[in-house]
Amino acid sequence: LVVMLIGFLAAQYAAGGTIAPGTVMVSTGEGKVTMFDQNGNNLGQLDTTTGGNGDTAGSTFDAAGNFFVTVFSRQQVTKFDPTGALIGAFGSGYNSDPESIVVDASGNVYVGQADGSHMLLKFDANGNLLATFSPARDVRGTDWIDLDSDQCTLFYTSEGGLVKRFDVCTNTQLTDLNSVPLPGLHAYAQ
């Protein structure tokens, strides 16, 4: 009954209008993203259709309200329109484990990869590859990324103890944000 109710809510939500600002999007694995309102009410799920082993990870919205989610184990980024309707795979050329994603003010999409080449990929709003970057690694790759308001400084973690920085405008490695490693074994999402 709960599964049927979630499916009904997801279908009704997607057909009923845009994903409301403030909706909490939670990557819940198996190719799915669960949506909650600010009070914790379940609004249903978005399904990437990548199957039971599709580990959803990082996600973001663009200025038009399109929603993007990385599907770590399927080497894919999936795009949904502002109503939550599945558009499909976004971009290509993912080498291994796309995990994080951020959109800049111009609508370009950056995708960080945890493994493989560890490269940071930059796409235009249509999913065309514009650039690849090779930021310095720590333990893994460009694991979790975020873009500064200057639209050039990319903060990222590489599962070590440092928050690293890379300038995507000049293709230049910058000094680490912190000079002393963070406590614990790994730094993940920021």
Q: What is the pLDDT of residue 188?
A: 80
Nearest-angstrom CA–CA distance, 181 and 186: 9
Q: What is the pLDDT of residue 182?
A: 85
Residue in 29, 124, 116 with CA at minimum distance from that of residue 70:
29
Nearest-angstrom CA–CA distance, 129 and 110: 10
Whether the CB-CB separation of 26 and 32 falls below 8 Å is answered with no
pTM across the whole model: 0.88
| Residue 21 burial by Cβ neighbours in a 10 Å radius (0-12, 13-18, 19+) | exposed
SS3 42: strand
pLDDT mean values, one per 10 residues, the chain (190 residues): 38 64 93 95 94 87 97 94 97 93 98 92 97 94 94 94 95 94 82
Q: What is the pLDDT of residue 14?
A: 45
Q: What is the pLDDT of residue 128?
A: 98
Q: What is the pLDDT of residue 3?
A: 36
Q: What is the pLDDT of residue 9?
A: 43
